[in-house]
Structure 1
Amino acid sequence: MSSTMPKVSQNILKSFSALLCDREFIPFDEFVKWALYDPKIGYYQRPKKRVGKDINNDFYTSSTLGSIWGELIIESSITMLGKNIPSEFVFVEIAAEPQTSILQGLQHPFKSHQIIRLGDKIDIPEKAVVYSNEWLDAQPFKRFKYSKKQKCWVEIFVGLDNSKLVQIEGKPDPSESFLFPKISTDGYLIDWPTGSISSLHKLITQSQWNGIFMTFDYGLDINTLLNDRPEGTARAYRRHNLTNSLLTNVGDQDITCHLCWDSLKECLKKAGFEKINLTNQEAFLLENARAEIKKIFEKSTEGLNPKMLALRELIHPAHLGHGMQALSAARFK
């Protein structure tokens, strides 16, 4: 059984055919990696401004709202470092967009500021404050569907049929195991964020660095992913429009899925991190950046200045305050 899409352009067809080589189809995570990061056609390789509120951008996030986000992150970092001295720690920013940084133009108390962009080697200093925003949900993921007829989970692959990208159901790789329910609703989709789990694991185990880890992203607990999202969580974003047509506009749309917070917290725990905390962005900022937020309120007594408007968007439940979540942890030895 397969699900078809419109014919793709010749350059996409040529690139995908080369990726297939002598295979009939590829795992879904390999398709996502190709669509997002291929050197020639990958979405994140194209020289375009992806993040922002302009009609030609695809999505916006907290860092879009100006210097206030960087100021709040600086204050939060200081709070989480506690008695540790900020000037002994390098602030590491992962997956910053080209020519941008959340600390750009800001004074900060850290030893230095290290920016890791697409393609850069991830090398974390011995003492670090590691920050990312919507980095983990930009990693490849696998896709599975429950088949009532076969009484098991089947894996979704991607192949070609008459110059069209198609989703193909097949047997999962026997070398991989996932703790999915033995029985589910026929057609139930699971978009399992394998790439985010492996990326975090590599980040926190490649060296025994000490300090703070914080990431802001969209995710769900494992029970919700496995039982309450029958259509999966994978979506594509293009010019601020959301779609579940993942095989269209290849290279010209972002593809993402929700993280599994339980798996990420377990990664942190196994790597020796403590004070592992998952909360929404509003609660995180009110807990860790209270002093900076107070300053903004005090300076906005004569009306809603730009910073106050940006703050409202960052913490208001109807905007990024509840939709975006924050996962943080500390490791000091």
Structure 2
Amino acid sequence: MPTRWIHPGSDSILCVFWFLRLPQLFSTCVAFSLVADMGTLRGAIGNWSMSFWCVCFAMTLIISIVDLRNLYYDFPFYWHNICVTYACYAALICLSASIIYSITYVQFLPDHPYRDQAIAATAFSCIASVLYVIEVAGMRAWYDLEEIFFYEHTMSALLKVLETFVAGVIFAFLSNTSLYLHQPALEWCVAVYSICFILAAVVLLLNLGEWEYMQPRPFSIFQLLLTLLSVLLYVSSMVLWPLYQFSEEFGGMPQRFMDMSCVDELSYNVCDWDQCLAVAILTAINLLMYMVDLVYWARQVSIGTKDVSSAPDSVWSYPVSSQSEDIL
């Protein structure tokens, strides 16, 4: 059985907490509070952004408590993988919230104290995203220094994080069920997004637990088949979604002005046509990433390796320093 990995010492945890986690908690909390104080004027985009900041605040708080109370050994996965993966997601979430909130809501607000609050919330969201990026870079440097392997070093990990994140943004736009209800082809597209998200999440969880190192498992073939399935499903969505949303022959609206919800230029909500266009663009982006993922795993299978990140048996026997023996 592999030995347990070595977690950074308590001094390092406290350093990360005071210099990164506390500012992260403060930034996401302030962004959430400023928008929440706007009441009904925050709009649907404001509610969407608030939910993102709230999730980041809650998860950062939970991770900080686990680290400070040394509870990481109670988790079935390797804790360093969880922390780095979450920091990647949090950076993407805060960055996307900052961009979408500013370009779809803040710029349309008239001069009013609420506009200043919205701008301040966007600024704090940007600060939070920078802090999460610093955390990812710092943790990578730490584990490189300690010669500790973690999954987020690999191309596969980056692709899986991006694939699931883009799918999450697609789901945010699909919260408007009027975009696809009562259209079997469009409902199929929603099912495709859900199926591929679940498959990518399962693979991500398996990798976080480092199950691919348990012999014997043809893990690269398994990932190749799942990725191929996801590519085929996304190809069908890439064809059906634009066809049924933007082709008059299939009941779609090829021009933006044809959508009555887009007529009011002062509206603080993203109109239906813009949401359909966003889903189409995100579908193309995710299809491209799945195709890159497919090429990656096809190469791994062709050269007879599980993963470019596969480490030797020594990956399970991390060097134990005298300072870390008390942690095990």
User: Is this a same-fold pair by TM over 0.5?
Assistant: no
Q: 1 or 2 for the larger relative contact order (CA 8 Å, sep ≥6)?
A: 2
More helix by share: 2
TM-score by length of 1: 0.30
Q: Give the number of the structure whose alpha-carbon radius of gyration is greater.
A: 2
